[in-house]
Every structure is written in C-alpha cells, then in structure tokens.
Amino acid sequence: MLLGIGDDAALWQPSRSHRSAISTDMLVEGVDFERDAMTLGDMGWRAMAANVSDLAAMGARPVLATVALGLPQTLGLDEILELYRGLAQCAASWRLTIAGGDLSRAVALTIAIAVVGEVRASNVKTRSGGRAGGVLAVTGALGAARAGLELTRRDETVGAALKEEALRAFRRPQPRVAEGRFLAASRNVEAMMDISDGLARDAGRLAAASGCGALLDAVPVAQSARAVALARGHDPQRFALAGGEDFELLAAIEPRAFAHLARRYAARFGRKLERIGVLRAEPGIVWEGATLEELGWDHFAPPGA
C-alpha cells in the first residue's frame, strides 16, 4: 500500500504481470447472521473470510480490502472494536491490507466488504470452463460449518473435540487461498468456485455455467458434521451436501490428470483432494440415482436444511 486510510481514496501499485480481481459481499444482521450464534469478532472474521474465499475461487491472491460498516446506535465502542479486530485478524491471516473504510449509522449491523486481489492471466479459473467427463473434486471435507451453526442453536452430546471443530469451522472459517492458487496453477483444472451455499447448490452452478450436469457419488463429510448429523437422525452425506459456508473449493479437473494432481495436493497440504463425482453432458445434478429436483431440492431450501 502506498497510501491508506485517511485520504479520499487509498492507493496501491498493482503487479505489472498480473490481472486484478475484485469481489464484494454484504452481510446484514438478522439476515445473514444472528448475534447470539457468535461474537462480534467472529462476525468480522466471517465477513472477511467470505470475501477472501471469492478470490481464492479465481486462483487469486488477496491484496487489499475496503470495509464499510453500518452500525446500530446500540453498539458500543468496545463492540465496534471487537468487530473490527475480527475483520483485521482474518485480513492479517491472509496478508491483505484493510485499505479504506466508511462508517454509517444503520438499524441493523451491516458489513460490506470489497476485496481486491491479483492472479496471473494464465491461471485464472472461472466457473464455466468445465467439460463433460471432468472429475469434480473438493479441497476438504464438508458440513462442519453447518454442524457448528446447529450446535449454537441446540447443543448435542458429541465429543468436545468434535464440538470444537464444528464451532471453529462455523465461527472462524479458513478460506482456501493457498489451495486455490495451487489448483489454479494447473492447466488441468478447468473450472473452480468456492462452496458458500452448500455443495448441492454450488455444484449445480458450476455445472450449469459449464453447460453440463453432474453425477455426485460421494461427499466427504467432516467428522464433526457426521457426529452432529447422526445425533440429529440425519444422513451425514445429505447433511454435508446441504451445509453452507464451508468455504472449501470445488474444482473440475481433466480426468486423466486427477490422480497425479491429487497426489501432489496431498503432499503439499496434508489433506486429500476429494473426488466427489463427474461432470456429464446431461443437465441436472444426480445424487443416489435421482436428480436433486426429483429429490425435492430447490435452490433456496434443500430438505432437512
């Protein structure tokens, strides 16, 4: 950063060899989050993480963010600082600068972030590059964030470590920037996006943008999500399929290159690049022999969510 908060605008020198990327997200209390489910610090972290994840999905490295806050009169200075600390901690963890901001009064706490990053032109991944036959894979197990949200609503007798895993995934999600850049550097990764609204919906979006459908045959379920799903009498795979805000990445990969890429991924990150299915020419997302529509899923409300 050449010039930060305090003037009319912030300045930076973009890399000469890269493209710039920008994304924005607005979170509103009572709509996108509830204050009794998490601290204000968690809210700040999650808002920043959601934006960083959008850049990770393009293979970009985040550089800076602007933060506009709408603050209700009931919020005290200590609380505003706690919120800001969460934003700043997440930004620092992924090495981006909070370059500018704006404050306004508001009825409900509102967090609007814009995040700017950089990506080598040859590495840019979109949602639309997938082809029939491509392997669909995710960067990690799913469902933990949803399990954490459920635990804030009603406690369950699951082990303390699993509870901790779920609550942490919900309150302090980890956007997959390094994983996104690793995958983006491979020309065998044909499409990519982040999973913010649940795998079922987001796989449908990637497939549709690529002019394909998809057959899903296995969803990797986080241990904590499995425990909470079973305690609630849900099928763990469906629980993970519907759960949102895991911020893992979903990629479509050239089928002959998958095994080699997955070995390199495991060696680099100590986690599996999980194969979940395959893109195919027929439209629709098929799960356990039926399309999600046939199973009664719609875009806004998957069953059992």
Judged by the rule CB under 8 A, the positions of this chain that interact with its own copies are 2-3, 6-14, 16, 19-28, 30-32, 54-55, 57-58, 60, 64, 66-70, 99-108, 110, 112, 114, 116-117, 119, 121, 124, 126-128, 193-194, 209
Minimum CB separation of residue 70 from its own copies in Å reads 5
Minimum CB separation of residue 276 from its own copies in Å reads 19
Nearer to its own copies, 8 or 36 (CB): 8
- The Cα 302–Cα 293 span in angstroms is 10
Q: What is the DSSP string of 206-271?
A: HHHHTT-EEEE----B-HHHHHHHHHTT--HHHHHHH------EEEEE-GGGHHHHHHHHHHHHSS
Backbone angles phi, psi at 216, to 5 degrees: -100, 130
Nearer to its own copies, 89 or 126 (CB): 126
Minimum CB separation of residue 299 from its own copies in Å reads 14
Nearer to its own copies, 28 or 80 (CB): 28
Closest by CA to 185, choosing from 97, 275, 256, 268, is: 268
The token pair at 97 is: 């600068």
Nearer to its own copies, 182 or 239 (CB): 182
Nearer to its own copies, 105 or 153 (CB): 105
DSSP tag of 134? P
Minimum CB separation of residue 288 from its own copies in Å reads 28
Minimum CB separation of residue 230 from its own copies in Å reads 33
Strand pairing report for 18-28 and 110-120 = antiparallel
The token pair at 5 is: 């908060």
